[in-house]
Structure 1
Amino acid sequence: MSTLNLGILAHVDAGKTSLTERLLHAAGVIDEVGSVDGGSTQTDSLALERQRGITIKSAVVSFVVDGVTVNLIDTPGHPDFIAEVERVLSVLDGAVLVVSAVEGVQAQTRVLMRALKRLRIPTLVFVNKIDRAGADGARVLRQIAGKLTPAVLATGSVHGAGTRAAGVRPYGAADAGFTARLAEVLAERDDALLAAYVTDERALSYGRLREALAVQSGRGEVHPVFFGSAITGAGLPALMAGLTRLLPSTPADPQGPLSGTVFKVERGPAGEKIAYVRMFSGTLRTRDRIPLGGGTEGKVTALTVFDQGTDRRTDTLTAGRIGRVRGLTTVRIDDAVGQPPAGPRTAHFAPPTLETVISARRPADKGTLHGALTQLAEQDPLINLRQDDLRQETAVSLYGEVQKEVIEATLANDFGVEVAFRETTTICVERPDTSGSAVEFNGKDPNPFLATVGLRIDPAPAGSGVEFRLEVELGSMPYAFIKAVEETVRETLRQGPHGWEVPDCTVTMTHSGYSARQSHAHAVFDKSMSSTSGDFRNLTPLVLMDALKQAGTTVHEPMHHFQLDVPADTFGVVLPLLARLRAAPGSPVPHGSSYLLEGEIPAAHVHELEQRLPGLTSGEGVLESAFGSYRPVAGTVPERARTDHDPLHRKEYLLSVVRRAGASRQSG
């Protein structure tokens, strides 16, 4: 039996979880369709999800359609939980993007579709809620073509829109308009079809067009659009047929080399780690020992595979399937199981742009809080715990205020810890202005370490990451010392001269040197006369910061691209608010009785705009916003308190580090 690993993605409240319930019911997995509002759905299993009526964590459920095992992954729709979607994308064979027939294409819809197209994940679009008042399938179809992708094809027509009796009539070979549109869309991407289309459009049989549609939609080039209602079940038979006919099932090789990826980690009732693994090749078995990240390994003690709405115990997890693996005590999200899957592992969405300091309301809970946050970071690495040992503070990264509320409720409900947050602040980044270099030599003042390190830092394009290069011979000194320099460079760049991360640059090692291993009589190793990795780890921050200071850095703040639709009679009161929030709107475009505005606004002010807009526009203003880019900060440069020994201040740094290094040498 073949397998389809399917993601259900949507803007919040488009009906994504309700669609999951309807699919499970149609496949015979559940007897009754659960309710999001009633907290009775299969995939929103967390108490907090049921209370709030939103999906917070991705969940997997399995069913069979036309002989294909579908592993359906329900993902969060709220933008504050985009990190969950990020991890799911890497394991999908195909996706269904849900759009509301009432609200239409929304901000998160556009963000998700851009990622799906970039990754060439085959995607069907389901226009939901055709039974709701205000539903307009034709309008939404135009929005999809204009805002998401022009390569769309409606697969049916809606009748009775906006009523409980709304239904869908699928198109077929007898629908001349549909077959003409089908031929036109497909011919744009198939030279053979184009030649036949130009010569004699009537020569293209409907069967040939349907085969070409399956090929092109399976490659993520064309996006069929289905209409329906997850609540009433209208349009569901056509969508379910489309899952197996238009999306590609997994070409799996159970006998191939072991290759899988961990896309989710959770804790079991006894606190044990449970890894969600998608297998791409080979077969994983209980009692297998597998290497994990950080040079560790784990032994598989138990396996479960998703099957017909539940997960069942098994001895093997084969290629193409998704399962839960126990026994991997050091496992982390993104760890490879066996060989890493082919292709580069890159981020598909912007990182969090907000952060806040979190503390326990009861001092006695401080240790419990640290352990709880460590567990939450296992499940969501992008909350990026930032421990400041100097001030005894912990900061977490955030996508928004809702995520902060969920973290607070989770800590209270699951760990019994009540917490307080400081005001949310923006996470900026630093970028080098130009090139800079520095070097310190072994045995020459003021360098107290038995190491020579020379580094040059150069600017790099945004999003390119940190690249470490060598201009010294690889064999000029032990590789462990070169590795120590590289690792320390990456660690040090988390805090630039102003305290912000330097995410995009090239660092080149230009000089190297060390003191060879020295021994006294009887071959006793003398650390005081011989270089160690610690010498390079301690010297590198000083050299790198000198190079950065020479290059100069500019602090950049995150900006959101926004689209604002406001009634014409409130336009005059909204503009001053935009100016106060440092937004930069373009020229207004009349749109019926309202104005459309597009522009950029600092991420730090988006929440205030969201809060103020309903009052200024009598609830009629509509805002869409998503991370756009980083821009240089205008005015006062924000500084971030450092959490390290501060290599910018050499004397204090050396007092701390040399004392620690001296103790280490004596203990050795």
Structure 2
Amino acid sequence: MPRRTLNLGILAHVDAGKTSLTERLLYHAGVVTEIGSVDAGTTRTDSMALERRRGITIRSAVASFAVRNTAVNLIDTPGHPDFIAEVDRVLGVLDGAVLVVSAVEGVQPQTRVLMRALRRLRVPTLLFINKIDRRGAAEQRILDAIAGRLTPAIVPMGRVEDPGFPGARFIPWARAASRKILLDALSVHDDAIVNAYVSDEAAVSDRRLRRALADQTRRCRVHPVFFGSAITGAGIPPLVDALADLLPAAGGDPSGPVDGRVFKIERGRLAYVRMFSGTVCLRDRITAGGRPAGRVTGLTVDGAPAPRVGPGGIAVMRGLTDVRVGDAIGSGAATAAPHFAPPTLSTVVVPARDDERAAMRAALNELAEQDPLIDVRQDDVRHEISLSLYGEVQKEVVASTLADEYGVTVTFRDTTPICVERPAGTGEAAEVIFAPGNPFTATLGLRVEPAPPGSGVTVRTDVDLAGVPMYVYKRQDAFGDMMAGYIRAALAEGLAGWEVTDCVVTVVRSGYQAPNTTAADFRRLTPVVLMRALDEAGTRVCEPLARARVEVPVDTVGPTLSVLARAGASVTGQTRDGDLVTIAALLPATAVPAVQRQLPGTTGGEGSLETDFGGYRPVTGTPPVRERTTPDPRNLDEYLRTA
């Protein structure tokens, strides 16, 4: 029986062979008797109809197998950048990862994004170079690209025989070559090995080197590299052995406080939970995100019903009526911090038939439970529903899901950027109880000040205890917490309809009349006062940017710069490495698809574009306005009728 548990993520750029590797690992472990095909739509972890049709992974999936004394929970993640949110939720529950790189295409844009996240979160990572049997596979070229574009801290674990041919094989190093490579790589971080080797080479045993390799891998100091083919099975046995030998096992005290994380929700409120500490049993009542979540009426572990789940385990829990993706189960923090940028695009969803509008809204609400970042917004004035997106492929996924799973046909309007607003200056406003024009039984004053870009929203309370209705809020800190919630909710739509961020809001005045004042008075008064303070401060609408890294042949730099200039990019730097030039630039997020389309023709098919979130910058010219979906507090009559 396995005594260790390893929660393993399989990550890659789209089409690198990640799902094929997952299938091969399950076959090697005896979990499946036949290897599924991505092209044929028969893979175990791609269960959506669209996943099978398109041959891409859209939602993360969990499968389990055993390697000697280690139980592996394998999580297959999407490779397409439009579904980076799925990867985001998985990263926080991993003990280790395998990053798959194609031996033909090499290090691709998403490969770099994923490796940066894995290193930032210190997730021990093995590299698997797939497709060594494909024409164009090049062993040393890939190793050089990994060292130059991902990390130099790599340890090749063998060599490839006949790369680029159907019979290509991975050959682990012979003892002498293995010792030299391990000594060279491990001595960088281990002076004891260096000293022992200098004193007496024989004193550094092979066993000591393997222990040091495992230790440094688990500390993310080195990344062992394996070669193989998920299709033929070449190189799979050494990789499987490395999962048990080199990656860390899950820890945690079964009798400790319950602490877990929800990383996926499926239709029917099936919550996928990774446990870090404690034990959850059937019929237990638990909290999620600090809220009562309900009673566990069903537990599935390793694909079978189970009475309990302990540390390191991944369970599908039924019966949780109030649970969201990212919630902590039990004693953990309320939500998981995102590791990637939020969506920067938005679109309006339109039902094919008006009588399907209610069904579409209900279906989208269920999809938002599975993926909160799509941020379903309803405009009650024009009766429109909008979504947030990472890219155009997401539209196809939403449309297909609505059609296949809910029987609702939809179309989309043009994609637009999701802007934000930032205060342009300082503004302050107040409403006094019983004063003309204040219909609420409360006094409230708020001051809004700009904060550094990227700092988010900070809420402070600077009022005398005498102004806080303690019979309502019980404690002054409870008043502050509730006011922070009211203020953040009100900042969801600013003067131009966009979310207001990068600001400090201070509660500077508070008053009440006992026993008439209620929490609702402060909640409803907050947007009115806050909008007046923002009016005085003014706001700047800022558009989302992409930070681009464009690698092109030196003789195509001029045309490439012209493409970037037409896209509204600002070039921030250029570096040359041999015949290649890397151009760093910031450009509007909406311009990235156009640059991607033009780059192959401009560079003879040899250019590559890598982007990540680059922050926001003020819009030049007339700023875009987003219609409000909630009553406008600046129109008090309308606000009072509907708020």
Moved more, 313-322 or 562-571: 562-571
Measure the CA separation in 2 of the matches of 1:461 and 1:199.
55
Q: Are 1:437 and 2:437 matched, yes or no?
A: no
Measure the CA separation in 2 of the matches of 1:197 and 1:554.
62
Q: Report the aligned-residue RMSD.
A: 2.3
Output aligned runs, 1:158-177, within 5 Å. 158-175=160-177
- From 592, 606, 609, the equivalent of 2:595 is 609
Measure the CA separation in 1 of the matches of 2:53 and 2:231.
20
CA contact (8 A) 1:559 1:630 kept: yes
Match of 2:509? 511
- From 461, 472, 480, the equivalent of 1:470 is 461
CA contact (8 A) 1:411 1:417 kept: yes
Distance 1:221 1:590, change over 3 A: closer
- From 75, 99, 102, the equivalent of 2:101 is 99
Q: Are 1:460 and 2:460 matched, yes or no?
A: no
Output aligned runs, 1:124-135, within 5 Å. 124-135=126-137
Distance 1:588 1:40, change over 3 A: same
Moved more, 617-626 or 482-491: 617-626
- From 275, 300, 317, the equivalent of 2:296 is 300
Distance 1:462 1:119, change over 3 A: farther
- From 306, 323, 348, the equivalent of 2:339 is 348
- From 477, 500, 521, the equivalent of 1:535 is 521
Q: Are 1:17 and 2:34 matched, yes or no?
A: no
CA contact (8 A) 1:484 1:536 kept: no
Cα displacement (A) at 1:474: 5.7
CA contact (8 A) 2:571 2:583 kept: yes
Measure the CA separation in 2 of the matches of 1:66 and 1:577.
54
CA contact (8 A) 2:632 2:638 kept: no
Match of 1:417? 408
**Which residue identity lines up with residue 414 of structure 1 in the other structure?**
E
Measure the CA separation in 1 of the matches of 2:137 and 2:197.
35
Match of 1:116? 118
**Which residue identity lines up with residue 208 of structure 2 in the other structure?**
R
Measure the CA separation in 2 of the matches of 1:658 and 1:47.
47
* Structure 2 SS opposite 1:162: coil
Output aligned runs, 1:471-490, within 5 Å. 471-473=462-464, 476-478=468-470, 479=473, 482-490=480-488
Measure the CA separation in 1 of the matches of 2:58 and 2:623.
35
- 1:450-470 Cα distance to aligned partner (Å, 9 max, x none): 112122233334443322222
Cα displacement (A) at 1:117: 0.9
Cα displacement (A) at 1:226: 1.1
- 1:289-338 Cα distance to aligned partner (Å, 9 max, x none): 222347343111111111xxxx1111112221111111112222122222
| Structure 2 length-normalised TM | 0.93
CA contact (8 A) 1:187 1:197 kept: no
- From 632, 636, 640, the equivalent of 1:658 is 640
Stretches of structure 2 that go unaligned for 5 or more consecutive residues are none
Match of 1:631? 617
Cα displacement (A) at 1:431: 2.2
**Which residue identity lines up with residue 429 of structure 2 in the other structure?**
A
Measure the CA separation in 2 of the matches of 1:230 and 1:305.
27
- 1:389-436 Cα distance to aligned partner (Å, 9 max, x none): 122111100000001111111111111111121100011122234443
Match of 2:538? 552
Measure the CA separation in 1 of the matches of 2:554 and 2:257.
62
CA contact (8 A) 1:481 1:532 kept: no
Measure the CA separation in 1 of the matches of 2:130 and 2:427.
55
- 1:168-218 Cα distance to aligned partner (Å, 9 max, x none): 12125311xx43443343333334335445666664333222211111211
**Which residue identity lines up with residue 544 of structure 1 in the other structure?**
L
Match of 1:358? 349
Match of 1:577? 563
Measure the CA separation in 2 of the matches of 1:128 and 1:417.
39
Measure the CA separation in 2 of the matches of 1:124 and 1:473.
57
* Structure 2 SS opposite 1:327: strand
Match of 1:214? 214
- 1:469-507 Cα distance to aligned partner (Å, 9 max, x none): 222256733326544422220011112222221233332
- 1:605-652 Cα distance to aligned partner (Å, 9 max, x none): 1112223334555544433322222223233322222222223x3xx2
* Structure 2 SS opposite 1:57: coil
CA contact (8 A) 2:552 2:603 kept: yes
Cα displacement (A) at 1:597: 3.1
* Structure 2 SS opposite 1:174: helix
**Which residue identity lines up with residue 541 of structure 1 in the other structure?**
P
Output aligned runs, 1:117-156, within 5 Å. 117-156=119-158
CA contact (8 A) 2:328 2:335 kept: no
Moved more, 404-413 or 330-339: 330-339
Count of matched residue pairs = 634
Measure the CA separation in 2 of the matches of 1:483 and 1:590.
52
- From 312, 321, 333, the equivalent of 1:329 is 321
**Which residue identity lines up with residue 165 of structure 2 in the other structure?**
T
**Which residue identity lines up with residue 445 of structure 2 in the other structure?**
G
CA contact (8 A) 2:290 2:328 kept: no
Distance 1:317 1:587, change over 3 A: closer
Stretches of structure 1 that go unaligned for 5 or more consecutive residues are 518-529, 662-668
Cα displacement (A) at 1:535: 1.4
* Structure 2 SS opposite 1:300: strand
Match of 1:381? 372
* Structure 2 SS opposite 1:29: coil
Measure the CA separation in 2 of the matches of 1:196 and 1:436.
67
Match of 1:644? 630
Match of 2:305? 313
**Which residue identity lines up with residue 222 of structure 1 in the other structure?**
V
Distance 1:473 1:315, change over 3 A: farther
CA contact (8 A) 2:264 2:272 kept: yes
CA contact (8 A) 1:107 1:626 kept: no
**Which residue identity lines up with residue 583 of structure 2 in the other structure?**
L
Distance 1:261 1:202, change over 3 A: same
**Which residue identity lines up with residue 99 of structure 2 in the other structure?**
L
- 1:109-141 Cα distance to aligned partner (Å, 9 max, x none): 111111111111111111111111111121111
Moved more, 32-41 or 77-86: 32-41
Measure the CA separation in 2 of the matches of 1:347 and 1:555.
24
**Which residue identity lines up with residue 122 of structure 1 in the other structure?**
P
CA contact (8 A) 2:346 2:386 kept: yes
Match of 2:67? 65
CA contact (8 A) 1:428 1:500 kept: yes
Measure the CA separation in 2 of the matches of 1:562 and 1:373.
32
Distance 1:559 1:282, change over 3 A: same
| Structure 1 length-normalised TM | 0.90
Moved more, 37-46 or 218-227: 218-227
Cα displacement (A) at 1:586: 5.3
**Which residue identity lines up with residue 587 of structure 2 in the other structure?**
I
Measure the CA separation in 2 of the matches of 1:467 and 1:587.
34
Distance 1:292 1:473, change over 3 A: farther
- From 261, 282, 285, the equivalent of 1:286 is 282
Cα displacement (A) at 1:284: 1.3
* Structure 2 SS opposite 1:585: strand
CA contact (8 A) 1:360 1:417 kept: yes
Distance 1:185 1:438, change over 3 A: farther
Distance 1:119 1:566, change over 3 A: closer
Match of 1:492? 490
- 1:81-132 Cα distance to aligned partner (Å, 9 max, x none): 0010111111111111111111111111111111111111111111111111
Cα displacement (A) at 1:75: 0.2
